[in-house]
């Protein structure tokens, strides 16, 4: 779309008189729309993906690193095996929950 196209559209609107602006602008937009779409598509094609949030990998490693001693502590509960398994499951569910919340925020 060039400057001449805009000038031609304005001249046509003046020539046709009042009330023709809507039709002239509509026709102008029909011609300009594909050019705008092509420019946007070209920009999006050259756009780099957003980098991962810096805390994501660190949080995952910290969670696993904390999960190991938490598991050892919960399995060492001196009651019965069922209590130890439930405590371990609760601990890991908490770690998974923290990671899910963090991943949805980024």
pTM: 0.45
Within 10 A of 62 (CB to CB), how many other CB atoms are there?
14
Q: Per the structure block, which two tokens stand in for 3?
A: 């400057």
Phi, psi of 89 (to 5 degrees): -60, -40
Interatomic CA distance for residues 21 and 54, integer angstroms? 52
- Could you list the pLDDT tens digit for every one of the 106 residues in the chain? 677 877 887 788 888 888 887 787 788 788 888 888 888 888 888 887 766 656 667 888 888 899 999 888 888 877 778 888 888 899 999 999 988 888 887 6
C-alpha distances (whole Å) from 11 to each of 5, 23, 26, 96 are: 10, 13, 15, 66
């Amino acid at each position: 779309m060039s400057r001449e196209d805009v000038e031609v559209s304005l001249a046509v609107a003046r020539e046709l008189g009042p009330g023709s602006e809507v039709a002239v602008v509509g026709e102008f937009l029909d011609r300009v729309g594909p050019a705008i779409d092509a420019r946007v598509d070209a920009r999006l094609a050259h756009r780099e993906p957003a980098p991962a949030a810096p805390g994501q990998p660190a949080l995952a490693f910290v969670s696993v690193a904390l999960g190991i001693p938490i598991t050892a502590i919960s399995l060492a509960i001196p009651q019965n095996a069922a209590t130890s398994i439930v405590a371990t499951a609760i601990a890991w569910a908490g770690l998974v929950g923290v990671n899910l919340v963090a991943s949805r925020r980024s």
